[in-house]
Amino acid sequence: MVIDQKRPSIWMLVAILQVYVWIYEVPKICKPFWTNTFANYSDETSEFILNLSVILFFLCYVAAMIPVYYFAQHPWIDQYKIQKDKPWPWLSKDEKTRNDFWKLTKRSVKFISFNIFFLVPVMSYGKIMILSKLNMGGTSFATDEESWPKPFRSFIDCIILSIIHEFGFYATHRLCHVYPFLYKYHKVHHEYKMNVAWCAQHNHPVDFILSIGGPGLLFISLYPCHSMTQFQFILWVMYANLDDHCGFSFPWSPVRWFPFAAPTDEHEFHHSKNIGCFGSKLDIYNRLLGGHEHYLKWNEKRQKAQ
Ligand SMILES: [Zn+2]
Ligand SMILES: [Zn+2]
């Protein structure tokens, strides 16, 4: 069965509920802690601390997914697997496939450790310093109670940030596929043909700076906003990135149910076939500028075959 993440269901309500909690309830919970704690730090230090929250989020998501992969053969979990025609590599009957997977996982530990524990802090610090000097973004990173945004304002800001960020990702990702001197770095990310959550950050450092750092710098330079909104947005992006690579089309995913959201299997298609689908969380640029024609044909074929 092919899972359609945009088909109305009880799971879609669960997805919507998660968005409601993230936009309306989380700021209320955070507000007292936020205004008291960050009052002791400069805007730049506060922004740096909040940027590092993505590291913890990544580690928690991967830790939560490990039991799911362990029980991946259970029929209830297996129904959401995207590449149903192939076994998970660690469960393959072929010894070489299993060994290759564990070798690749060890390689991931090295890349991921460097990217999240070194590049993320360095890039965050660099971004804050540059924007602070240019009097952009960094200096408007308010953490005070007076400028606390209304939930609807945060919601609109997150939509605008998504459109800007997605353009940055689509453009840098597409360039990485078009130009061989960039693809030689990006191909490291494509070593996974069947995704597992941690491959979300399995990137060569050059690719990581370009396709993860570049869009991040773009959105914050063009649209600086309140610290709470930035926090909500960066974790939203990290969630979408992890969801892109989890290998499952979960119908309760909070980042897939709304119009113009790209389904998880688009990025899985990108890894397994390596043709088109340059976007991530939204499919607007794939539609406007090209990139999902092959995916649409592949999707139509498998829908008919089911
Ligand atoms: Zn790619
Ligand atoms: Zn990917």
**Ranked by mean pLDDT, which of 2-11, 26-35, 138-147, 240-249 comes out on top?**
240-249
What pLDDT, in 10s, does the model give residues 182-229? 999 999 999 999 999 999 999 999 999 999 999 988 887 888 888 899
What pLDDT, in 10s, does the model give residues 140-191? 677 777 788 899 999 999 999 999 999 999 999 999 999 999 999 999 999 9
| Residue 261 CB-density burial (10 A; 0-12 exposed, 13-18 middle, 19+ buried) | buried
Distance, CA 174 to ligand 2 centroid (Å)? 12
Distance, CA 267 to ligand 2 centroid (Å)? 6
Q: Is the pLDDT of residue 38 over 90?
A: no
Distance, CA 188 to ligand 2 centroid (Å)? 10
Give residue 140's pLDDT.
Answer: 60
Distance, CA 122 to ligand 2 centroid (Å)? 22
Distance, CA 16 to ligand 2 centroid (Å)? 25
Cβ proximity of 141 and 43 under 8 Å: yes
Cβ proximity of 203 and 115 under 8 Å: yes
Return the CA Rg of the chain: 19
Distance, CA 190 to ligand 1 centroid (Å)? 6
Cβ proximity of 175 and 89 under 8 Å: no
What pLDDT, in 10s, does the model give residues 93-132? 999 999 999 999 999 999 999 999 999 999 999 988 887 7
- For Cα atoms 52, 132, 222, give the angle at the middle one, nearest 5 degrees: 80
Cβ proximity of 275 and 294 under 8 Å: yes
Can you tell me the distance from the alpha carbon of 34 to that of 31, in angstroms, rounded to the nearest whole number?
A: 5
Can you tell me the distance from the alpha carbon of 23 to that of 6, in angstroms, rounded to the nearest whole number?
A: 20
Can you tell me the distance from the alpha carbon of 159 to that of 297, in angstroms, rounded to the nearest whole number?
A: 29
Q: Is the pLDDT of residue 137 over 70?
A: no
Chain length of the chain: 306
Of 211, 188, 204, which is closest to residue 279 (Cα–Cα)? 211
Tell me the ligand closest to 266's alpha carbon.
2
What pLDDT, in 10s, does the model give residues 232-257? 999 999 999 999 999 999 999 999 99
Looking at residues 289-303, what average pLDDT do you find? Answer: 89
Tell me the ligand closest to 203's alpha carbon.
2
Strands in the chain per DSSP E: none
Mean pLDDT for the chain?
91
Q: CB-based contacts of 99: which residues, under 8 Å, 6+ apart? A: none
Q: Is the pLDDT of residue 65 over 80?
A: yes
Looking at residues 76-84, what average pLDDT do you find? Answer: 95
Model confidence at 46, pLDDT cuts 50, 70, 90, reads confident
DSSP 81: B
Distance, CA 226 to ligand 1 centroid (Å)? 32
Model confidence at 136, pLDDT cuts 50, 70, 90, reads low
Distance, CA 183 to ligand 1 centroid (Å)? 8
Q: Is the pLDDT of residue 138 over 50?
A: no
Of 165, 162, 140, which is closest to residue 228 (Cα–Cα)? 140
**Separation of CA 147 from chain center:** 28
CA distances from 69 to 63, 77, 80 (A): 10, 9, 12
Beta pairing partners, 81:
248
Distance, CA 128 to ligand 2 centroid (Å)? 27
Q: Is the pLDDT of residue 139 over 70?
A: no
Distance, CA 278 to ligand 2 centroid (Å)? 9
Can you tell me the distance from the alpha carbon of 34 to that of 91, in angstroms, rounded to the nearest whole number?
A: 45
Please state at what angle helix 227-244 crosses helix 151-178, rounded to 10 degrees.
Answer: 50
Give residue 35's pLDDT.
Answer: 80
Distance, CA 299 to ligand 1 centroid (Å)? 19
